[in-house]
Structure 1
Amino acid sequence: MPFPKTYVDQMLLNWGDRLFHDPLRHVRAPRMSRGELRRDVRRMREQLARTLRRTPEVMVKITNKASGAQGMGAVRRHLRYISRNGRVELEDQDGMAMLGREALHDLTNAWHLGGWGIAEESRRREVFNVLLSMPPGTDRQAVRNAARAFAAEEFGDGRRYVFAAHDDEAHPHVHLSIQVRGPDGKRLNPRKQDLQRWRERFAAQLREHGVDANATRRLARGETRRYPKQAVVHMTTRGEMPRYWRSELDEPTRRTLWAAHAAPLEAWRGVLHAMEGSQTADDRRLAAVITDFVRMMPVQHDRPEMERSDRDVRQRDRKPVHAHDLRHARRGEAQPDLFPEDPDVGVER
């Protein structure tokens, strides 16, 4: 018998939150009105649709996160870099455009001496340098406009910042430099969850400016590709072989990645179960799309050898899935595999 619509919506929110957002805490959730529930379900379906059609993912990166001393000397050098020594226009938090070496000099003096000031040398980070990027082919003006709106939304509390859009590379990107201390003296201290929120807000601003953009975690997409650091790129460009970095995954790394993807794959099975049992034909067609999407995840191709050899055992032990199985999964109990037609999809038991 098909599931009631309210049951499908609740299951979609439950498993979708586990897949796309931070892990749920064991606290009593506030009672939601019907309007709030419909709004959240609509947002979750939009997020699911963007992910399944492989919408381009935004990139937000703190480029000086591991740096040591960050006094005005380092800040001045970075502002010269992003402005190409005055040849690229900078824009500040008030929308004021600055172009030329004289304007750059005035800006650095204002940051050095104005407000809380930035010492010439400092043991503490005084500015966060953030890179906002999109894949090649994205409308560059839209990226710039979205970056402006994102910065105003996230840091528009009186905190000083400037940004510059670069058009000299294939990837449209914006460099955003933000002072650590705000007008009240509190220091900006972004964590991993803050970076994900920045990605989601930047993606939302891009969509507001006509660019289809997404901001999902790599685990939700089953990504396993390893990206080399800049030092490795420079070494390989010179023809040198890095001692410790390898592009290919070894077996211990495969096992670690597979274990890390266990929870996202479980959430995908929960979403699939809700779609398969829905009363609407569109949801049931979406279930087939989800199955293909999970089957083609890179993590499926990088499955550890021990998992590949055990797949016949899991295939033999499959059982029909019922709603109580999904409730048990919330307590950490194992679930049957929801992809019976594909033995390469599952989680480590």
Structure 2
Amino acid sequence: MAYPKVYVDGILLNWADRLFPAPYKRPRSAPGLSPVLLHLALRSGGKAARVRAQVDRTARKVPEVMVKVTNKKSAGRGMAAIREHLDYISRNAKIEMEDQDREIFNDRQALRQLKESWQVSGRRRIPDETENGRGLDALNLMFSMQPGTPPELVKDAVRDLLQEEFRGREYLFVLHTDKLHPHVHVCLKTEATRELPRLRHGRKELQRWREGFAENLRQRGIEANATPRPTRGQPRFPVPLHEYHRDRKTPRPPSPPPPVSPHAFQPQRDAWRAMAHVLNRSSRPEDVGLAKRIVAFWRSTPVGAVAPSPSSLPPEPRNHENPERLQRARIAAARLNHPALFEPDPGNPATRRQIEPLSRLRHVSGGDLVQDRQNPELLLQPHARGHLER
């Protein structure tokens, strides 16, 4: 039986928080055809449409935007470092800069007056040199997009984001087109004001700025996406700084990346698997096509190309005194690591038969239990606490 759209929307919302950052909240109930889930889907039609659009952009590998903090060891601390950075991003006043009031600075005299006003315009004067224990006086950001994007549209998107996120703060930004990818440098004062606290720039803030930047680009007709690396199945392979500079001076063939652990991406794999399953059983043909794109997308990722090995499965529980509990935990572990997305591709598009054996289990109650979608029984996870069996 084909699933109706309202059921599919509820399942997508139920799994979206594992792939995309909030505001998509997962309900506490198991994903069945329950009144709670149906009520959630009926009330959140707009959220479900956004999730579908996000899934489609990710499966089609839409270009990802980049927001990067460019502060070096001593940058942003003290007015001397801020002056040096402003000279760098403005190329010594050869490129016009714009502030929060849309005032343009394009000559040395205007830039010199701007530096003097920045030093004394806050609640306290910024010292020339760095002080011990003093935080950042200015945050340096860079917003970048893929080569070929119209530079003026990138600048307009950044301007709107700055006005939305940093209203009431002082900042300067400048567009650079000297490289293939257009990018905008932003210098932003971080001090607290009477209305605003001191500016933070953690992972959550950077992800929110990425999403806002991508949304502003989409409003201008440019396809852009902002998803975390684990969602795209992209492990991070950090390169030591000395190796990075060594390879820049003397190019050499890239070294093979370290082995990928599929178990590290288990939450993302389960979410993509559940979405592909429910979309493949939908009554809408476009949902079935989206399910095929999801399977093809995950197989093309570095993590999806590696089949889970026995060493990547969760360890067995330490308590072996209860055989029944041990057997149920083994069944749960096997179902959660079902290799449905790792079957060899015969060269044809994915069919319903290839997607149907996806896992039917779902985490509930904080991860200690899983529930079978077709049967009412609950199974214990391998990592369940020992007191649950009492």
- Quickly name the TM-score band, shorter chain normalised: 0.7 to 0.9
Q: How do residues 81-160 of structure 1 correspond to structure 2 at under 5 angstroms?
A: 81-116=88-123, 117-122=125-130, 123-156=134-167, 158-160=168-170
Residue equivalent to 1:248: 256
Residue equivalent to 2:79: 72
Residue equivalent to 1:5: 5
Q: Secondary structure at the match of 2:68?
A: strand
1:227-285 CA distance string (max 9 Å, x none): 647764432222289xxxx853234xx23xx3331111111011112202212121112
Aligned CA distance change for structure 1 residues 283 and 27 (closer, same or farther; 3 Å): closer
Q: Secondary structure at the match of 2:362?
A: helix
Report the more deviating stretch, 198-207 or 296-305. 296-305
TM-score between the two structures when normalised by the length of structure 1: 0.81
**Is the contact between residue 83 and residue 89 of structure 1 (CA under 8 Å) also seen in structure 2?**
yes
Residue equivalent to 1:177: 187
TM-score between the two structures when normalised by the length of structure 2: 0.73
Aligned CA distance change for structure 1 residues 291 and 26 (closer, same or farther; 3 Å): closer
What residue ranges of structure 2 are gaps of 5+ in the alignment?
Answer: 30-35, 314-333, 344-354, 373-382, 384-390
Aligned CA distance change for structure 1 residues 302 and 78 (closer, same or farther; 3 Å): farther
Q: Which amino acid aligns with 2:170?
A: R
Q: Which amino acid aligns with 1:114?
A: S
Q: Which amino acid aligns with 1:261?
A: F
Structure exhibiting the larger radius of gyration computed from Cα positions: 2
What residue ranges of structure 1 are gaps of 5+ in the alignment?
Answer: 337-348
Q: Distance in 2 between matches of 1:273 and 1:33?
A: 20
- The answer to whether structure 1 residue 287 and structure 2 residue 311 are counterparts is no
Residue equivalent to 2:220: 209
Aligned CA distance change for structure 1 residues 216 and 247 (closer, same or farther; 3 Å): farther
Q: CA deviation at 1:325?
A: 2.2
Q: Which amino acid aligns with 1:153?
A: E
Identity %: 36
Residues paired across the two proteins, number? 326
RMSD: 3.7
Q: Distance in 1 between matches of 2:61 and 2:339?
A: 29
- The answer to whether structure 1 residue 54 and structure 2 residue 65 are counterparts is no
Report the more deviating stretch, 62-71 or 77-86. 62-71
Q: Which amino acid aligns with 1:85?
A: N
Q: Secondary structure at the match of 2:226?
A: coil
Q: CA deviation at 1:210?
A: 2.0
Report the more deviating stretch, 125-134 or 4-13. 4-13
Q: Distance in 2 between matches of 1:76 and 1:142?
A: 28
- The answer to whether structure 1 residue 273 and structure 2 residue 277 are counterparts is yes
Residue equivalent to 1:187: 198
1:164-186 CA distance string (max 9 Å, x none): 00010111100011100143262
Q: Which amino acid aligns with 2:229?
A: R
**Is the contact between residue 219 and residue 261 of structure 1 (CA under 8 Å) also seen in structure 2?**
yes
**Higher relative contact order, structure no. (Cα contacts within 8 Å, ≥ 6 residues apart):** 1
Q: Distance in 2 between matches of 1:139 and 1:229?
A: 34
Q: Secondary structure at the match of 1:298?
A: coil
Q: CA deviation at 1:5?
A: 2.2
Residue equivalent to 2:176: 166
Q: Distance in 2 between matches of 1:279 and 1:304?
A: 32
1:36-63 CA distance string (max 9 Å, x none): 5111111111111111111110000111
Q: CA deviation at 1:327?
A: 5.5
Residue equivalent to 1:21: 21
